[in-house]
Amino acid sequence: MSVTSPADYTEKIPNNVSLHEDRRLQRALESWQPDFLDWWQTMGPSLPTQDVYLRTAVNVGREGWAQFGHVPMLDYRWGIFLAEQDPDRRVGFGQHKGEPAWQKVPGEYRADLLRLIVIQGDTEPASVEQQRNLGATAPSLYDLRNLFQVNVEEGRHLWAMVYLLHAYFGREGREEAAELLRRNSGSSDAPRILGAFNEETPDWLSFYMFTYFTDRDGKYQLGTLKESAFDPLSRTCEFMLKEEAHHMMVGTTGVDRVVERTAQVMIENDTDDVAALGAIPLPVIQKYLNFHYSVSLDLFGGETSTNVANYYTAGLKGRWSEDRRPDDHRLTDDSIMVDALIDGEIGELEVAALTGLNTDLRRQYINDCRGGVNRWNKILADGGLPQRLKLPHIAFNRRVGAFAGIEVTPDGQQLTAAEW
């Protein structure tokens, strides 16, 4: 089955996976489609979307980069697009390293793979729900277009995960696909699985911070799944990552513009107190940053995890840039220092590298986040301003992992519950 063909938009579900060759799968997905469209109607953008043009995938291409065409929002069609298959691909890590990549789900890993796909799938529609009302307060048509673009692509990422569920996990997969539309962000009886995806995105600075910090978590999670020995999951995530880059660009440049405006008003009026002058004060921007960064750190899970160690050993989920790591890609003899609470104090603890993989991924993410902060600080420095933004301490506002039980200031000072 060739997957190098351009997306076929004459089909009910546009795809590059030759869906018409598998009638059962096609019927199953076509029966999920109206439920998805219902969900989009009730939980998707609340603002009418006419006159907004969006990019849509037309080819995932041999050059390894997506080609996009443009359609009006109302004609946007969600489809199933996987990156090209490499017939010689081999497992890159863990106990199956060097064996051919899997085209089917091995029975022994079925439950774990299902869980990983469901957790990833659950985040995609959640952000659409969180951003539902932002259209009403869009600062410009440019921003509105970016918002809808991000929203339709998160909807498509849901399709990507639902395709895997339907194609490879039988009835259980179809049930999980239905559940992905039943849970809703912030719902009291059926919330989304992960905390950050139940938080509100009430305004545009939240949206920019979310797309900078929380979509970036998505980038790192997809990066680990792209390494998966289960080839259809790997190819799905590879294509999702191309779309994800745009979401983060929306966040980066959105915060750029907020900081630029703040700096400009501060300089023109020679004051830090810019709220009454129509700009967002730097301490407020810092608070937004603190919040979105800390809830995104929680998305990486506990500092140590035997589940994640097992996923790695089994070949289900690799590391960020697995093939560029200068080690044996099995990690059975290695160790890592992880963040820990030692006798009530913030410190570090040595553990087996496999157990500390969440920490490894979180650190890659943190380094990446520094890039944005440096960029925003350069705007302040170029304006001649002495103030700087910064990432809060890793223990600040954490609800998951070693620091969940303590309260810490953004500077890393421990507080009593009463002081907090």
Which CB sits closer to Fe ion, 210 or 376?
Answer: 210
Residue closer to Fe ion, measured from CB, 92 or 251: 251
Taking the CA atoms of residue 246, residue 251, residue 255 and residue 257 in that order, the dihedral angle to the nearest 10 degrees is 30
Instruction: Report in angstroms how near the CB of residue 77 gets to Fe ion at its nearest.
Output: 18
Rounded least distance, CB 348 to Fe ion, Å: 32
**Would you put residue 349 in left (φ > 0), alpha (ψ -120 to 50) or beta?**
beta
CB of 293 to Fe ion, least distance (A): 17
Between residues 185 and 262, which has the closer beta carbon with respect to Fe ion? 185
**Tally of CA atoms within 13 A in the half-sphere of 3 that contains its CB:** 18
Q: What are phi and psi of 111, to 5 degrees?
A: -65, -45
Of 129 and 244, nearer to Fe ion (C-beta) is 244
Q: How far is the CB of 383 from Fe ion (least distance, A)?
A: 31
Q: Least distance (Å) from Fe ion to the CB of residue 6?
A: 23
**DSSP tally for the chain: helices H, then strands E:** 10, 6
What count of Cα atoms within 13 Å lies in the side-chain half-sphere of residue 225? 27
Name the residue nearer to Fe ion (CB basis): 242 or 325.
242
User: What are the backbone angles phi and psi of residue 80, rounded to the nearest 5°?
Assistant: -115, 115
SS in 3 state form for 275-324? HHHCCCCHHHHHHHHHHHHHHHHHCCCCCCCHHHHHHHHHCCCCCCCHHH
Contact 208, 255 (CB under 8 A): yes
Residue 152 CB, nearest approach to Fe ion (Å): 11
Cβ(117)–Cβ(21) below 8 Å: no
Whole-number minimum distance, CB 222 to Fe ion, in Å?
8
- Could you say which DSSP state residue 362 is in? H
CB count, 10 Å around CB of 216? 25
Q: Which residue has the tokens 């009026």?
A: 269
- Phi, psi for residue 241 in degrees, rounded to 5: -60, -35
Amino acid at residue number 218: G
CB-nearer residue toward Fe ion: 135 or 401: 135
State the minimum distance, in angstroms, from the CB of residue 146 to Fe ion: 12
With tokens 């639902």, the residue in question is: 162
Structural element, H or E, at residue 159: helix 141-168
Closer residue to Fe ion (CB): 265 or 297: 297
Let me know: does 149 contact 135? Beta carbons within 8 Å: no
Shortest separation between residue 154's beta carbon and Fe ion, angstroms = 5
CB nearer to Fe ion: pick between 136 and 245: 245
Nearer to Fe ion (CB atom), residue 124 or residue 129: 124
Retrieve residue 196's tokens: 């950050």
Positions touching Fe ion (CB under 5 A) are 124, 154, 157, 215, 244, 247
Least separation in angstroms between residue 416's CB and Fe ion is 38
In angstroms, what is the minimal distance from the CB of 131 to Fe ion?
A: 11
Measured from the CB atom, is 180 or 336 closer to Fe ion? 180
What distance in Å separates the CA atoms of residue 329 and residue 306, rounded to the nearest whole number? Answer: 17
298/339 with CB nearer Fe ion: 298
Exposed/middle/buried for 98, CB within 10 Å: 0-12, 13-18, 19+? Answer: exposed
Selection from 67, 37, 63 nearest residue 55 by Cα: 67
Question: Alpha-carbon dihedral of residues 227, 230, 236, 240, nearest 10 degrees?
Answer: -30
